[in-house]
Chains A and B, each alone.
Chain A
């Protein structure tokens, strides 16, 4: 094979934040704020009796309790069982949707980093700084969830329904209460962010001092993190998404969220590498590295579909009302209470599985950015839609359309912040861990003959 040699200057090259990107970021955030305010304005206008702005609960856009109430216990399995949906509900649901979208991407990259460290894998060393930079978004992304601690009173059914009104929710109040919810989620965020920043710090120190001690220490941290991650990510996804419909059970839910976040994390890593290479950085990252990231994206779309079917199939087979209602809401056509969700239900499968599965099957599709990027954009939209159709039926019922503009606004603001934080972090260190023990292996990475 041709010898690959890169001078130390090439390896110590740093990314400088381009002015164009800065303009893009400010453009996105600026537009986002305008769109958000517009969205809030429009959503407030649709609150039917908007005369009393102080008591949101009195503004009435009430869920019709439909015949989907299979309990027969009169609680109204359907969404919030008739609670008012206000502008604040839309605001909270949209914020939750967008916060989760970006936060899960960053968590996916953190998992990518740690699991490769434990596996003693070498190929990803040359691109390691990209996922490392994405994990620095985590502390910023938490802002969305902290805001949700305030807005959650308007979104989560178990906070809206009074104690005593719903026997099934009452049995879960020992776990689903606001105090414990906030405490445990703060612990999760703390540990995740702590691990992410610690790993990055060790990696940056390794650049300066060299030696194996940083590598060894990061391996221990990674191993402990992955165990904690498996448990805490499940609880995190149950807390923030599944508990929107507190009657529903799904034991595979955490894995489902993880599958989605890992796929989109791979897509984002791919995009950033392609962008950096286009700007002339990272000459040592070759098609083989892109190919491997692409393989992950391809493989985990299948994993996502696998988990999707696993969840659906078991619920379909057992046919228990508490479980089945989740899908009844999402694909029953002609049910006014959940109008439009059937389209999202099927679109979700196409965006997240059928399109990427067939489009990314060939070798070239993963190696040539021109082919991968359009598919990757579809997959990211799919990830957003996946979260959207998980959150909205439980949070706002059939009124999903009213929050869309706010959702777009949050998307632009968080997207701008995400780009800014990630690329800002990339400027702060070499684009490659120069003293990493596996660097040489990664520079010679190939994926074999055609």
Chain B
């Protein structure tokens, strides 16, 4: 589903931040900001929802721990008990390192994969940029046109201009 965006383009992060501050005061909903590098202190303006990645990580971690324990428990305990150095084959201390490692492995890889899937970064994906220069030296503030009244558009554009936007444009993405 395509959406139309009102784009304000800036040459530097300071102008971007001051424009964002003004827009926020006006109650304008910011869709997103695209920048060549992470801008420190931009988070409060971006309406970022609490990430659920941590919950996913916890679940993956539990899966990893369970996998390790079931695998080792079933193999050493029942399927193929082995005598290593006279130790009982089903004992917890030697399970600890592997359980730990699989917990870390599952949660790390699970998180990366989830991130790629949720962020829609799969191979062959066509990149859709608001402005090609956002990969180089331009900071783009995107405002969803559905979330602003048509009569406000001029005022918002002017406001961004006043705070250093060198170009205002629209794009359907």
Interface residues of A (CB under 8 A from B): 1-2, 309, 312-313, 316-317, 319, 361-363, 444, 446, 448-450
- With A317-B85, A317-B87, A361-B58 as known contacts, state yes or no: A446 contacts B41, CB within 8 Å: yes
Interface size class of B (residues with CB under 8 A): 10 to 19
Whether A309 and B48, one on each chain, are in contact in the complex, defined by CB atoms closer than 8 angstroms, is no
Q: Which residues of B contact A449 (CB under 8 A)?
A: 43, 46, 48, 51
Compute how far the CA of A316 lies from the CA of B93 in the bound complex, rounded to whole angstroms.
Answer: 8
Q: Does B27 contact A (CB under 8 A)?
A: no
Q: Which residues of B contact A319 (CB under 8 A)?
A: 85-87
Compute how far the CA of A115 lies from the CA of B17 in the bound complex, rounded to whole angstroms.
Answer: 34
Compute how far the CA of A363 lies from the CA of B50 in the bound complex, rounded to whole angstroms.
Answer: 11
Compute how far the CA of A313 lies from the CA of B91 in the bound complex, rounded to whole angstroms.
Answer: 11
Q: Which residues of B contact A309 (CB under 8 A)?
A: 93, 96-97
Residues 40-62 of chain B, each 1 if its beta carbon lies under 8 Å from chain A, else 0: 01111010111100100010000
Compute how far the CA of A312 lies from the CA of B46 in the bound complex, rounded to whole angstroms.
Answer: 48
Compute how far the CA of A402 lies from the CA of B58 in the bound complex, rounded to whole angstroms.
Answer: 44
Q: Which residues of A contact B170 (CB under 8 A)?
A: none
Q: Which residue of the partner chain B has the closest CB to A316?
A: B93
Compute how far the CA of A190 lies from the CA of B44 in the bound complex, rounded to whole angstroms.
Answer: 48
Compute how far the CA of A313 lies from the CA of B41 in the bound complex, rounded to whole angstroms.
Answer: 45
What are some 27 contacts across the A-B interface (CB < 8 A)? A1-B17, A1-B42, A2-B44, A309-B93, A309-B96, A312-B93, A313-B94, A313-B96, A316-B87, A316-B94, A317-B87, A317-B93, A319-B85, A319-B86, A361-B58, A362-B54, A363-B54, A446-B43, A448-B43, A449-B43, A449-B46, A449-B48, A449-B51, A450-B48, A450-B49, A450-B50, A450-B51
Compute how far the CA of A254 lies from the CA of B58 in the bound complex, rounded to whole angstroms.
Answer: 32
Q: Which residues of B contact A1 (CB under 8 A)?
A: 17, 41-44
Q: Which residues of B contact A313 (CB under 8 A)?
A: 93-94, 96-97
Q: Which residues of A contact B48 (CB under 8 A)?
A: 449-450
For the complex of A and B, 10 pairs with smallest distance between CB atoms: A1-B41, A449-B43, A450-B50, A449-B48, A316-B93, A309-B96, A313-B93, A1-B44, A448-B43, A312-B93
Given contacts A1-B42, A316-B93, A446-B41, 11 further A-B contacts (CB under 8 A): A309-B96, A312-B93, A316-B87, A317-B93, A317-B94, A319-B87, A362-B54, A448-B43, A449-B51, A450-B48, A450-B49
Interface residues of B (CB under 8 A from A): 17, 41-44, 46, 48-51, 54, 58, 85-87, 93-94, 96-97
Q: Which residue of the partner chain A has the closest CB to B61?
A: A361
Number of A-B contacts (CB under 8 A): 39
Q: Which residues of B contact A444 (CB under 8 A)?
A: 41
Q: Which residues of A contact B96 (CB under 8 A)?
A: 309, 313
Compute how far the CA of A203 lies from the CA of B131 in the bound complex, rounded to whole angstroms.
Answer: 50
Q: Which residue of the partner chain B has the closest CB to A306?
A: B100
Q: Give the shortest distance, in Å, between B120 (CB) and chain A (any CB).
A: 20
Q: Give the shortest distance, in Å, between A245 (CB) and chain B (any CB).
A: 21
Q: Give the shortest distance, in Å, between B88 (CB) and chain A (any CB).
A: 11
Q: Give the shortest distance, in Å, between B65 (CB) and chain A (any CB).
A: 12
Q: Which residues of B contact A450 (CB under 8 A)?
A: 48-51
| Interface-central residue, A309, A317, A446, A449, by most chain B CB under 10 Å | A449
Q: Give the shortest distance, in Å, between B41 (CB) and chain A (any CB).
A: 4
Compute how far the CA of A312 lies from the CA of B95 in the bound complex, rounded to whole angstroms.
Answer: 13
Q: Give the shortest distance, in Å, between B102 (CB) and chain A (any CB).
A: 15
Q: Which residues of A contact B87 (CB under 8 A)?
A: 316-317, 319
Compute how far the CA of A362 lies from the CA of B58 in the bound complex, rounded to whole angstroms.
Answer: 10
Compute how far the CA of A2 lies from the CA of B17 in the bound complex, rounded to whole angstroms.
Answer: 10
Q: Which residue of the partner chain A has the closest CB to B50?
A: A450
Compute how far the CA of A449 lies from the CA of B87 in the bound complex, rounded to whole angstroms.
Answer: 49
Q: Which residues of A contact B50 (CB under 8 A)?
A: 450
| Interface-central residue, B42, B43, B49, B51, by most chain A CB under 10 Å | B43
